[in-house]
């Protein structure tokens, strides 16, 4: 049977392997219910997931239970709400004005960011290791407020460039630090889309975001890392740009926002896809049989010729019944070409 690293490399290189790789991410409540169902403590090992994502110990994606209902201030000074069921929301941007003169970026080399990573990664070396290096445009939105940042694109573009440059340097240094753990790929999380299109005009994205994104991709490529980029929503218009600057895997291709089969037909020779199973309606509201059918149909099309890793369109939340999670997981595990 093909090993974990070879499964992911096969997808990136558009080679069909004996089984189609898959990956699942869970919110803490969903993860707890699934561990209880399977009677295990380690879902990655139990479900034989070939990919393992690791990253720095900054603001946790999900807050610890003892701070639910309070707020958390992350290392960039962004204030977040907390929730028992999801990651919370950025509610307090530190940049009230389009001005960085009194702002100090955090230290990307802070040793506290890397506590415990040696042990965490050591136990997963048989997996395809992916270093999560942060965000760029999305981080700027957290720091300024997304509405204000979009106005800055029009009224204060020089400030936007300065802000993105500061974040870019932080991300590049984070990549350099995480490269010490010998990853196979890098993962950037940077949302650009809404349900119907881009958050800002494509010309503004190409002017402000794309050049800095190219520098990050280039830094990963110099280390021979596979480049994986998470960007939610309908980003169809800039997929050719992402391919141009070196993207290997596009995540999470939400089927509610884009025709994923159309993406495969148009870009499948140049790009691998990860995602594609609907989380807005199918997984929370569908029946297990409907989910199995959707998984099989998706794999029949997306995995043809390689270039596909099955995953939900976003991290599985507490609204997905455990029987629906199991239906998706087992359909993916049982599927053969």
Joined tokens for residue 31: 């993860």
β-sheet bridge partners, residue 277 = 312
Q: With H, G, I as helix, E, B as strand and everything else as coil, classify residue 185.
A: strand
| CA torsion angle 77 54 221 5 (round to 10) | -170
Q: Is the pLDDT of residue 82 over 90?
A: no
Chain position carrying tokens 């991290």: 315
Chain position carrying tokens 């600057």: 245
Give the pLDDT confidence of 32-50 residue by residue, as tens digits: 999 999 999 999 999 999 9
Cβ atoms of 205 and 247 within 8 Å: the answer is no
- Name all domains of the chain by residue range, CATH numbers in brackets: 4-59+101-334 (3.20.20.210)
Give the pLDDT confidence of 233-259 residue by residue, as tens digits: 999 999 999 999 999 999 999 999 999
pTM of the complete model: 0.96
d(CA 232, CA 104): 29
Question: Percent of the chain at pLDDT above 70?
Answer: 97
Joined tokens for residue 249: 């895997």
β-sheet bridge partners, residue 188 = 134, 229
d(CA 172, CA 247): 16
């Amino acid at each position: 049977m093909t090993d974990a690293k070879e499964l992911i490399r096969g997808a990136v290189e558009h080679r069909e392997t004996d089984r189609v790789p898959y990956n699942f991410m869970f919110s803490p409540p969903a993860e707890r219910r699934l561990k209880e169902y399977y009677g295990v403590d380690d879902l990655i090992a139990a479900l034989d997931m070939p990919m393992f994502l690791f990253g720095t110990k900054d603001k946790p994606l999900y807050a610890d239970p003892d701070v639910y209902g309070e707020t958390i201030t992350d290392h960039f000074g962004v204030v977040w709400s907390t929730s028992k069921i999801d990651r919370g929301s950025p509610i307090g941007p530190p940049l009230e004005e389009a001005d960085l003169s009194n702002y100090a970026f955090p230290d990307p080399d802070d040793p506290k960011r890397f506590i415990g990573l040696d042990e965490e990664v050591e136990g997963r070396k048989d997996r395809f290791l992916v270093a999560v290096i942060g965000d760029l445009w999305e981080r700027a939105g957290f720091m300024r407020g997304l509405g204000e940042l979009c106005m800055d694109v029009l009224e204060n573009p020089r400030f936007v460039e300065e802000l993105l440059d500061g974040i870019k340097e932080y991300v590049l240094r984070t990549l350099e630090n995480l490269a010490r753990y010998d990853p196979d790929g890098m993962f950037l999380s940077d949302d650009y889309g809404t349900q119907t299109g881009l958050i800002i005009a494509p010309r503004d994205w190409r002017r402000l975001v794309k050049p800095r994104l190219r520098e990050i991709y280039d830094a990963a490529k110099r280390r021979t890392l596979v480049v994986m980029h998470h960007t939610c929503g309908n980003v169809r218009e800039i997929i050719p740009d992402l391919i141009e600057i070196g993207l290997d895997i596009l995540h999470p291709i939400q089927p509610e926002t884009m025709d994923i089969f159309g993406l495969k037909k148009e870009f499948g020779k140049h790009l691998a896809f990860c995602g594609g199973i609907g989380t807005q309606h199918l997984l929370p509201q569908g029946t297990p049989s409907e989910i199995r059918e959707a998984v099989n149909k998706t794999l029949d099309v997306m995995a043809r010729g390689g270039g596909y890793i099955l995953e939900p369109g976003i991290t599985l939340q507490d609204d997905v019944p455990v029987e629906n999670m199991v239906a998706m997981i087992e359909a993916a595990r049982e599927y053969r070409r």
